[in-house]
Structure 1
Amino acid sequence: MKRPEDIIATQQTGRATDFMESRDYSTIKEAHENFKKAARRLLLVNEWHQYAGVGSAVFSLTNNEGIEADGFAQEGALFSINLPAPGSDAGDGLEWVMIERMEAFEDEHAIEEYVAMLVRPIPDPRKADAEIAHFYKDVSTNTLIVKRKGKTVSAAVHGRNETPNNSNVGLHDKVRNTVVALSARIGLAGPQWKKLVKGFLE
C-alpha cells in the first residue's frame, strides 16, 4: 500500500521543515468523518486563509493561465499566494506554485486513509518570461498531508530543499526573496503553517 509520506521530496539542499497537528477520536467512524472534513478543507485552497486566521497569506486557486478558479485542488492546477509582506516583481506581488502531484486513498475500513499534495514554485503563468515567482527556488517543495491512521487524524506540511530564490532574478527580488526566505528560516513562517494545519482539523 502507498504511504502519503512517499511523495515528500528527498531532502538534498537548503532547509527542511515539518509542522503537524493531530486529533484522537473514540471510534473509527468518528475519525473517518473528521478525516473527510479535514481532507475537504485541504482541497479547498481558496479557503485556506480562513483556516489560518487573521494576518495569514491569501491563497487563490487558478487554471494554467493564472485565471482564478473555484472548486477543489487537482494535480496540475496552480495557485497564487499573497503574503502579508512586500511582493515579488516576478509575480507582480504574488508567489506562484503548481500542484505537481496528488495522491489520495479513502476507505473507512482500512488502517490508514489520506490525501497528499506536493507543490513547487513556478514562474507567473500570466507572463512570458521564465523567472520563478517565489521567494524559494523551484528545487523547494511543500507537501501537505491529511490522513487518518486508526482513530487519529493528522494534518501536516513538510517543506524540503528550502533555498532562497536570489539568483537569476532582478535586484529587487534578489533582496526581497533573501529577506523573506531568511524570515521564514528564523521561524516567522512556522506560526502560519501551524495555524493552517490546526485549522484543517477544527
Structure 2
Amino acid sequence: MKIKQIPGVPIQKSGGFHDTESRKDYDTPSVASEKFDILKERFFSINQWKSFSGAVFADFTLYNSNGNPIKQLPEVGDFIRIDIPGPGETEAKGYDWVEIINISHQQADESESYIMTCRPSQIPGITNNSHIAHFYSQASTSTFMIQREGSLIKAGIYGRNEKPNFNARFIDKIRNLLIALGGMCGFSKIQWKSLTDGLLDFT
C-alpha cells in the first residue's frame, strides 16, 4: 500500500502506518457546508467519539496538562486518555495516553480542513514519571483530519511511524508488542474506520 503524502501529516520514516478515510458527496457545496459544520462539532467533541464509533470500540476522554478531565474544545498541550478493549498498561491503570501536539485550520473559497495530531505521551499531571503510557513509542503519531472540498466532505485518520513501546515493565512490553503488532497488521484500522464512518453518519 502506498503511503499518502498529506500536508500536515508527519512523514513516514519507519515502522507501521495506515491511512483510514471515509467520505460523502452531496448534491451541492451548500449542503456539504451544512454537514461540515456538524462534522466539525463532532470532530472537536472528543469525549463523544465513542458514541460515533460504537460501544465495542475504544473510549476517549479529554484531559488538561494537570491531569484533570475537561469538557471543552481541545487545545495543543491537552491529552486524550484512551480506553481500548482488553487489558491496558498496568502502570497507567489500564489506559493509553496521547498528547495533542498540533491543531491547524485551513480555509479557501470552496475548501476547508482541520487537522489534529497526537503522539503517545506520559500520564499528565504526574511530574515524577516520564514513562510513555501507550502501546506505541513516542515516535508514532496519529493525525485526525476533517475536510470539505466543494460538495465532498471527508474524515480521515493517519497513523505514522508506528512501533511498539518497549520502554515499559516486562508484562507491559508483551502487551504493547501484541497490541502494536495487531494495529500494524490492520486491526486498529477497523477501530478508526468505525470512527470516521460514524462521524459522517448524519442519519
TM-score class, shorter: over 0.9
Q: Which moved more, 1:184-193 or 1:144-153?
A: 184-193
Is the Cα–Cα contact under 8 Å of residues 118 and 143 in structure 2 kept in the other structure?
yes
* Cα displacement (A) at 1:129: 0.9
Is the Cα–Cα contact under 8 Å of residues 90 and 131 in structure 1 kept in the other structure?
no
Report the residue type matching 1:188 in the other structure: F
Partner residue of 1:116?
115
Is the Cα–Cα contact under 8 Å of residues 111 and 149 in structure 1 kept in the other structure?
yes
* Cα displacement (A) at 1:126: 3.7
* Cα displacement (A) at 1:106: 4.8
Q: TM-score, normalised by structure 2?
A: 0.92
Partner residue of 2:68?
67
- CA offsets per residue over residues 29-58 of structure 1, 9 Å max, x none? 110111111111110000000000021111
Equivalent residues in 2 for 1:1-202, closer than 5 Å = 5-106=6-107, 110-127=109-126, 128-166=128-166, 168-202=167-201
Report the residue type matching 2:112 in the other structure: E
Is the Cα–Cα contact under 8 Å of residues 66 and 126 in structure 1 kept in the other structure?
yes
- CA offsets per residue over residues 16-38 of structure 1, 9 Å max, x none? 10000100011111101111111
What is the CA RMSD across the aligned residues, in angstroms?
1.4
* 1:74 to 1:38, Cα distance in 2 relative to 1, 3 A: same
* Cα displacement (A) at 1:187: 2.0
Q: TM-score, normalised by structure 1?
A: 0.93
* Cα displacement (A) at 1:105: 3.3
Q: Distance in 2 between matches of 1:90 and 1:8?
A: 30
Report the residue type matching 1:158 in the other structure: Y
* Cα displacement (A) at 1:7: 1.6
- CA offsets per residue over residues 123-153 of structure 1, 9 Å max, x none? 1124321110000000000000000011100
Q: Which moved more, 1:93-102 or 1:71-80?
A: 71-80
Is the Cα–Cα contact under 8 Å of residues 90 and 124 in structure 1 kept in the other structure?
no
Q: Residue 189 of structure 1 aligns to a residue in which SS?
A: helix
Q: Distance in 2 between matches of 1:48 and 1:174?
A: 28
* Cα displacement (A) at 1:185: 1.9
Is the Cα–Cα contact under 8 Å of residues 64 and 124 in structure 2 kept in the other structure?
no
Q: Distance in 2 between matches of 1:151 and 1:200?
A: 17
Report the residue type matching 2:143 in the other structure: T
Question: Share of identical aligned residues, percent?
Answer: 32
Unaligned residue ranges in structure 1 (runs of 5+): none
Is the Cα–Cα contact under 8 Å of residues 43 and 73 in structure 1 kept in the other structure?
yes
Structure 1 runs (4+) deviating above 4 angstroms are none
Is the Cα–Cα contact under 8 Å of residues 17 and 184 in structure 2 kept in the other structure?
no
